[in-house]
Structure 1
Amino acid sequence: MLEKVYTKDIQQGMFVVCSANGNPTLPEEIANTCISSKEAILKLQRCDIKEVLIDSSKSITENIHPKTSYAEEILFARETYANILNMIKVMFETVESGGSLDVPQYEKNIDPLIDSIERNSSAAASLTVLAQADKYLFSHSLNTSILSAMLGRFMGLSRESITQLSIAAMLMNIGKIWIPDNILEKKGKLTKQEFSTIKDHPVAACKYLSNQQGISLDIVKGVLSHHERDDSSGYPEGISGNEIHKYARIISICDSYDAMTSDRPYREAMTPNMAIKHLYSMKETAFHPRYIESFIKCVGIYP
């Protein structure tokens, strides 16, 4: 899979194909090669080239960052998780009060989380089972963000894209702020009207985010389309396949997995294995096979 990456975001292990627009051409020793040293990165960044195309299927990114032991990383990851969970709570309060989102600050705050995922993703992944019932909306947003960052990294997204993807996942449910609690927490089956109200939350979020500074179109599309499905069975637009933004395709799987493995007022949580099997059963319909198979390879062995 070819993807545009800013030269400033190139990392060791990425397979660089060519400059994004073909002009100027890359130095012979860099074109169609896997970046294996910091010297190669510096040489590429000295070229008058803003973006290059990388082939994520040929990239080797697992060992770009030094690994730490699970025991070492879990302490840092737990503190980072708590800090970002509080940030998301404040973020939701800001939206509810009609305030302005501080995107640069959010990006700065989630950097340590992405660093942790790059060092030892198992530590961050293990924290996604700690959702608290009274903070479900916040913890579910964070868990989905963690899983999305893991999957995005596994699929070869650049660091900048992973950051944007993570923010989109954190913001995916802000539209639920305007949905009554008696609908969100209803134990029985939703009426047709109640379900219609639920289905409005991506559009409500999109309208709010479109008026916020620092929110990219990619983030807006990721939020708007996170309930779309590959077979056009999703909402709010009923689009399908490649019409769905890649952020939304990643978030939709991670959102579904975390929701399935969480206790809710209307049902008990599935085991991780059950959730994986259920997602796999939808790989030719609701979700694209490549995204589902990548998710299973990325997190399917955990826990």
Structure 2
Amino acid sequence: MNNLVRIAPGALELGRPLPWNVYDANGNVLLRQGYVIQTDTQLEQLFERGRFKPRKIERPQDEVVEDTRQRNPFADYPDLLHSLEATLEAITDHDPSAQKRLTGLTRMIMRTCAEAPDASLALVHLYSIGPTVLEQVLFHAILSQFIARQFGLEDNRISVLTAAALTANLALVPVADQLNASNKLLTDDQRGVIRRHPTRAIQALKTAGIDNKLMLRIIAQHHEQADGSGYPEGLSGTEIRPEAEILALSERYVAMITKRAYRNRLTVTEARRLVATLADGKYRPAIPKALLQVLGEFPPGVLVRLDNNEVGVVTGRPVRARGPFVKAIIGPRGNRYSGTFERDASVLEFNIRGVEEPEIMPSMDFSRIWGFSA
């Protein structure tokens, strides 16, 4: 591989799964996606020796050949983030390819979630420790389309909602990572940027030739609240489209389970408990209920401890009175298994005792655990 480049300082972090494979200068895999860097020494060695495969930003072709490969959300993760970045840049730059890029990315996300739903939901939880703003936007889109389907929206509305989720925070992208990393109170200027971001996103989309009325309305309303306390118009009740509430709840859930400089992240158990309270005045009651149904008690990607004292990662939600399904990765005595063992948590011995929140997440080969070919 002669197209590998050095890893820039700051691209990788301690305690966070690698977003892509890391290679040496000769193209040999040093570490696979999902490996968690444990020490500063490891991090320094990766910056010194490690390489990664960069993505080229290419203009979409007029004739698009349908990609019929099996969708693997983990292998696709870098491409999805790359495509998202290119799409938002195209919108900001008023590039004629913006509409085509957004349509293609929306289709890819919807197809990925349809073909590999549990693995797609796992992405949200495996990378929720300290996601970049682009990762958060991708998570909003993934969750929005799952909630919308559970809520009962038809495919064309789900598609428009997914596109809205990908672009609603366009105006915040340049500053969001900085805001999340700050433990200081927001300034008046920063609060103004936040309150104006739906309007600024709509202006950028219109200038780029993207003018779907439903999509723009979803973006305009996604910070309104059913009790009238939202912004920018102070709408209430049924004045707010359900798609806007779904996007708002997706953003809120991701914020709950994400670590910020100014607060700790909630466990999934705590976040689910809080979501259950949101049906009282802030959202249509069916929307928080839809999110809880999508997640289940133990969502894919969450680490759990079983009654036999093993620790594993939830890989699948319950199906016909079986599950949740767990791949055990750590034995009862704390020893790391060389492989993984599938456990059906509906079996008494493998009942889930509770969610695990280790100081540092264990390394995992995500594609292998979820059964995708290399």
The answer to whether the superposition gives a TM-score over 0.5 is: yes
Q: Percent identity, aligned pairs only? A: 23
**Post-superposition shift, 1:178?**
6.3
Give the C-alpha shift of residue 179 in structure 1: 5.1
Structure 1 residue aligned with 2:289: 293
**1:186 maps to which of 177, 182, 198:** 182
Cα separation, 1, equivalents of 2:131 and 2:285: 32
**Structure 1 runs of 4+ off > 6 angstroms?**
none
Q: 2:271 aligns with which of 259, 270, 275?
A: 275
What SS does structure 1 have at the residue aligned with 2:218?
helix
What is the RMSD of the two structures over their aligned residues, measured on CA atoms?
Answer: 2.6
Opposite residue 258 of structure 1, the aligned amino acid is V
In the TM superposition, what whole-angstrom CA distance separates every residue of 1:197-227 from its partner, at most 9, and x where no partner exists? 3211111112222333243111111112111
The answer for the alignment partner of 1:45 in structure 2 is none
C-alpha distance in 2, partners of 1:219/1:97?
Answer: 20
Which of 223, 237, 243 is residue 241 of structure 1 equivalent to? 237
| 1:218-239 per-position Cα deviation (integer Å, ceiling 9, x unaligned) | 1111112111111111111111
Matched, 1:107 2:103: yes
Q: Residue in 2 aligned with 1:204?
A: 200
Deviation readout 1:72-102 (Å, 9 max, x if unpaired)? x997121233221111111232344444452
Question: Equivalent residue for 2:73?
Answer: 77
Match of 2:132 in 1: 136
1:298 is aligned with what amino acid? Answer: V
Cα gap change, 1:295/1:107 in structure 2, threshold over 3 Å: closer, same or farther?
Answer: same
Normalising by structure 2, we get a TM-score of: 0.56
**Equivalent residues in 2 for 1:18-167 (5 A)?**
76-100=72-96, 102-131=98-127, 136-167=132-163
Compute the TM-score of the two structures, normalised by the length of structure 1: 0.68
Larger mean CA deviation between 105-114 and 277-286 belongs to 105-114
1:223 corresponds to which residue?
A: 219
Unaligned runs of 5+ in 2: 1-68, 300-374
Instruction: Report the structure number with the largest CA radius of gyration.
Output: 2
Q: 1:279 to 1:135 in 2, by over 3 A?
A: closer
More strand by share: 2
CA distance in 2, matches of 1:215, 1:275: 35
- Equivalent residue of 2:207, what SS? coil
Opposite residue 257 of structure 2, the aligned amino acid is T
Deviation at residue 173 of structure 1 after TM alignment? 0.5
More helix by share: 1
Deviation per CA, 1:181-212: give whole Å up to 9, x if none.
75564312224443233211111112222333
Question: In the alignment, which residue of structure 2 is the partner of 1:175?
Answer: 171
Indicate if the aligned counterparts of 2:133 and 2:177 stay in contact, CA closer than 8 A.
no
Unaligned stretches of 5+ residues in structure 1:
1-72
Q: Say if 1:235 and 1:245 are closer, same or farther in 2 by CA, change over 3 A.
A: same
Residues 141 and 166, structure 2, Cα contact 8 Å, conserved in 1? yes
1:15-70 per-residue CA deviation (whole Å, 9 max, x = no partner) reads xxxxxxxxxxxxxxxxxxxxxxxxxxxxxxxxxxxxxxxxxxxxxxxxxxxxxxxx
AA at the equivalent of 1:209: L
Partner of 2:132, secondary structure, is: helix
Asked if the contact 2:151/2:286 (under 8 Å) is kept, the reply is: no
